[in-house]
Amino acid sequence: MAGKILVSTAYLPPVAYFSLISDVDEVLIEKEENYLKQTYRNRCYILSANGIQSLSVPVLLGSFHKTVIKNIRIDYSRRWQQVHLRALSAAYRASPYFEYYFEAIERIISARHEYLLDLNMELTTFFLESVKMKRKIKYTSHFAPVKNNPGDFRYNFSPKKEFKRDYKEYLQVFSERHGFVPGLSIADLLFNTGPDAPGFL
């Protein structure tokens, strides 16, 4: 394992995000790019009884100009924390490791982080520790245009297109109803497999 990758910030990131991180020893998270709507930067996907469910953190945006991701503030005029925590509880309370991890996730989501970047970083750090993955995590200091850099994955992850990665199947809470659903949040993997999660990355 060697090298580094450049990725976007992400909220309750998808499994493939951590799978990539497992291949390197240093991770750069982009904080100087302009915020992009409808991406993993402020949303995730979990598996509920009714199928795939999207959870999105509401953010405050300037009306007339682009906003750098490091300056994106969370919108607390909406009760998104309660909605997300109820959804996670409903989806995973029957999972084998729900009680091991939910309280910590609940604490992080319930804290009133002013900036989306800070919320995402605390969650990402928690998940890295939970899957026993020690990595050097740094933020970018300036924005570099996209080039043919094999380690640049800032714009490879999108809810609108599947990231090409071989997924190892694991037993999910609603597998009997929906079959195995790949590409979900790392929370899905952790609640369902616990300490065995690293083997599925």
Q: At 41, is the pLDDT very low, low, confident or very high (cuts 50, 70, 90)?
A: very high
Within a domain: 81: yes
Q: Is the pLDDT of residue 1 over 80?
A: no
Q: Give the DSSP letter string of 66-103.
A: --BGGGPEE-TTS-HHHHHHHHHHHHHTTSTTHHHHHH
Q: 45 - beta bridge partners? A: 54
> Rounded to an integer, what is the distance from CA 34 to the centroid of its chain?
18
Determine the pLDDT at residue 3: 87
Q: Is the pLDDT of residue 165 over 80?
A: no
Put simply, whether the predicted model's pTM sits higher than 0.85 gets the answer yes
What is the three-class DSSP state of 54?
strand
Nearest to 175 by CA among 93, 102, 95, 88: 95
Determine the pLDDT at residue 159: 82
Stretch 105-122: mean pLDDT, rounded?
98
Cα(22)–Cα(183) distance, integer angstroms: 16
Q: Is the pLDDT of residue 64 over 60?
A: no
Q: Give the domain extent around 174.
A: 4-141+150-194
Q: Is the pLDDT of residue 149 over 90?
A: no
Q: Which of 63-77, 159-173, 187-201 has the highest mean pLDDT?
A: 187-201
Determine contact, residues 165/44, Cβ cutoff 8 Å.
no
Within a domain: 199: no
Within a domain: 157: yes
Task: Provide the domain count of the chain.
Answer: 1
Nearest to 58 by CA among 39, 43, 36, 45: 43
Within a domain: 200: no
**Mean pLDDT across the chain, nearest whole number?**
93
What stretch of H or E contains 176?
helix 175-178
Q: Is the pLDDT of residue 177 over 60?
A: yes
Indicate the range of 62-76, 108-122, 184-198 predicted with least confidence: 62-76
Nearest to 141 by CA among 13, 3, 24, 33: 33
What stretch of H or E contains 77?
none
Determine the pLDDT at residue 115: 97
Determine the pLDDT at residue 162: 67
Determine the pLDDT at residue 156: 85
Within a domain: 129: yes
Tell me the HSE value of 79 on the side-chain side, using a 13 A CA sphere.
5
